[in-house]
Amino acid sequence: MNKLKTLALSMGTIGLSSLAIPAYAASNTEVDALRKEVNELKQLVQQLSTQQKAAPVVMAPPPAPAPMVATAPAPKAPSNAKPGWFTLPDGQTQVKLYGSIRGDATYDFEGNPSPNINNNTNSVPLNSANATKNNLNVSAATTRFGFDFSRPTDLGELTGKIEADFAGGIAADSSSRTTNGNGSLRVRHAYFSLGKWLVGQTTSPFVNTDTAPETVDFNGPMGYGSTRTVQVRYTQPIDANQKVLLAVEGGDVDNINSASATTVFKNSGGAVVQQTTTSGGNRLPALTARYDYTTADKKGLVQVHGLVHENRISVNDDVDETKLGWGIGVGGKYSLTPADTLFANYYHVKGDNRYLLYGNSAYVAYQNNATAAANATDLSIYESEFNSGLIGYSHKWSPKVRSTLAAGAIWYKDDNSFAERAPTLNKQLYNVIVNSFYTPTKNVDLGVEYTYGQRKTFQDQEGDYSRLNLMAKYSF
């Protein structure tokens, strides 16, 4: 292009010069020479123009596009998303991990029959036994962990729970459960619920976990129960403040395991004839029920409990005996102020020792008209019968400090065949508990508790219980 411009300028100059020619007396020879030179320049311009048009146009390549990076689309949060929960790969199931790391230490000032961190007022040595005193025991077996589940379905939200701790493995030597850090994994809760129905293992409706005061002792106060059973449960709301729970519960409800337990058979004079393993296991499930009433201001809660189950012993298909076990209970709590709460519970139970803690056996069994259990043609069950009561008061001194004072007792009917045939078992038991909890920072609790208790047998022999409990726990 620059050459073309130069040529054009040259031709312009020549043209202007040619216009001035008439002003001079130029010869014909000079004019002819100029014309020839102009023609040559025109031809050169045409040649260069033709070459310029024929040459390919070279354009700078466009910038390369940025490389595409494959990114997975962000998962869509499920409709039941909850803060602090995580989503499983199916994109619908929500899971939350929780639990606690806990250490316990106990010091028994009175005699202790086994190195166990749990309250054992019901089996403390009698004062006449001159048992060894001043025993220290520690354990971390009460540490627990669990998972809550939630998933939407076309029938509503399905929820569930799996929870375990390390306080299992109880055997003939009960100390194997919680002594000096030992313990084996056990299932506490394993259930799912959909709508009004629940299936799996969880707390029985008959026990009073909602209306009992807080204790450092892992078992809880006397007159308390936390039994977890395999059950099918139905919950029927009545209104915003009332509901009814009905459950069918499986398992060996009379606490006689068919694989290992023995029933003591005695003759009519009371002497032990034979201890024999019986079938134990019941033909029918236990039925439990609970009615809940919560005050409109949420300060008060009242619960009424019910229980019916079968007690059964059997030597063979032709010789067995059954009796009805049953129980009723009522309990409540009420917050007088945001810092002060009262608790109270009462039960009357016959033929059961599974649901409430610290009780005697559910019954004693007798054979009739035979000298050996194998020859028995008639069996008898004599059931225990008792009342239990629990009262407590809790006070929050500050956001970090709280205390509880509680007292619980069990007293058995002592004018029946059970008391007559089991004179060494307990007639009365009680505990008095005082404790304090300190929360130095979020999710950390330190507890100290003193318990004094006593048991008295049907023969009026007594055994005293005196223990100091210490606890440290981190919850997550």
| CB atoms closer than 10 angstroms to residue 312 | 23
The verdict on residue 344 lying in a domain is: yes
pLDDT above 90 as % of the chain:
59
pLDDT band with cut points at 50, 70 and 90 for residue 454: very high
Four-CA torsion 217, 142, 410, 331, nearest 10 degrees: 90
Domain count, the chain: 2
| Residues 6+ positions from 234 with CB-CB distance below 8 Å | 196, 197, 198, 245, 246, 247
Mean pLDDT of 208-219: 96
pLDDT tens column, 140-171: 999 999 999 999 999 999 999 999 999 886 54
Determine the structural domain holding residue 321 and report its residue range: 196-438
Mean pLDDT of 99-108: 96
Q: Do the bridges between strand 340-350 and strand 363-368 make them parallel or antiparallel, or are there none, so unpaired?
A: unpaired
Q: What pLDDT score does 250 carry?
A: 87
Most confident of 66-75, 78-87, 283-292: 283-292
Kindly report which listed range (158-172, 382-396, 433-447) carries the lowest average pLDDT score. 158-172
pLDDT band with cut points at 50, 70 and 90 for residue 72: low
Mean pLDDT of 43-64: 62
pLDDT band with cut points at 50, 70 and 90 for residue 196: very high
- Rounded Cα gap, residues 383 and 388, in angstroms: 16
The verdict on residue 472 lying in a domain is: no
- Rounded Cα gap, residues 413 and 387, in angstroms: 8
**This prediction's pTM:** 0.78
The verdict on residue 106 lying in a domain is: no
pLDDT tens column, 393-403: 999 999 999 99
Q: What pLDDT score does 173 carry?
A: 40
Q: Which one, of 429, 410, 329, 423, lies nearest residue 382 by Cα?
A: 423
Query: How many residues can be counted in the chain?
Result: 476
The verdict on residue 400 lying in a domain is: yes
Q: What pLDDT score does 164 carry?
A: 97
pLDDT band with cut points at 50, 70 and 90 for residue 46: confident
Indicate the average pLDDT of the chain.
83
Distance of CA 24 to the CA centre of its chain: 120
- Tokens 């981190």 belong to residue: 474
Put residue 109 in one of left, alpha, beta given phi > 0 → left and psi -120 to 50 → alpha: alpha
Q: Which two tokens stand for residue 79?
A: 């409709």
DSSP string, 99-158: EEEEEEEEEESS--SSS-SS--GGGPPPGGG-----EEEEE-TT-EEEEEEEEEETTEEE
The verdict on residue 402 lying in a domain is: yes
The verdict on residue 246 lying in a domain is: yes
- Rounded Cα gap, residues 243 and 245, in angstroms: 7
Residue 114 · residue 135 · CB < 8 Å: no
pLDDT tens column, 255-279: 554 444 455 555 445 555 444 444 4
Which has the higher per-residue pLDDT, 100 or 2? 100
- Rounded Cα gap, residues 209 and 24, in angstroms: 131
Mean pLDDT of 59-86: 65
Distance of CA 159 to the CA centre of its chain: 12
pLDDT tens column, 74-87: 556 666 678 889 99
Q: Do the bridges between strand 272-277 and strand 286-294 make them parallel or antiparallel, or are there none, so unpaired?
A: unpaired
Q: Which two tokens stand for residue 206?
A: 């008959």
Q: Which one, of 317, 304, 322, 320, lies nearest residue 362 by Cα?
A: 322
The verdict on residue 228 lying in a domain is: yes
The helix, strand and coil proportions of the chain, stated in percent and rounded to the nearest 5, come to 15, 45, 40
Question: What residues are paired with 187 via a beta bridge?
Answer: 164
Q: Residue 245 gets which letter from DSSP?
A: E
The verdict on residue 7 lying in a domain is: yes
- Rounded Cα gap, residues 469 and 432, in angstroms: 13
Mean pLDDT of 15-43: 61
**430 pLDDT higher than 90:** yes
- Rounded Cα gap, residues 145 and 129, in angstroms: 40
pLDDT tens column, 335-355: 999 999 999 999 999 999 999
> For the chain, how far is it from start to end, CA to CA, in angstroms?
81
Q: What pLDDT score does 168 carry?
A: 84
**232 pLDDT higher than 90:** yes
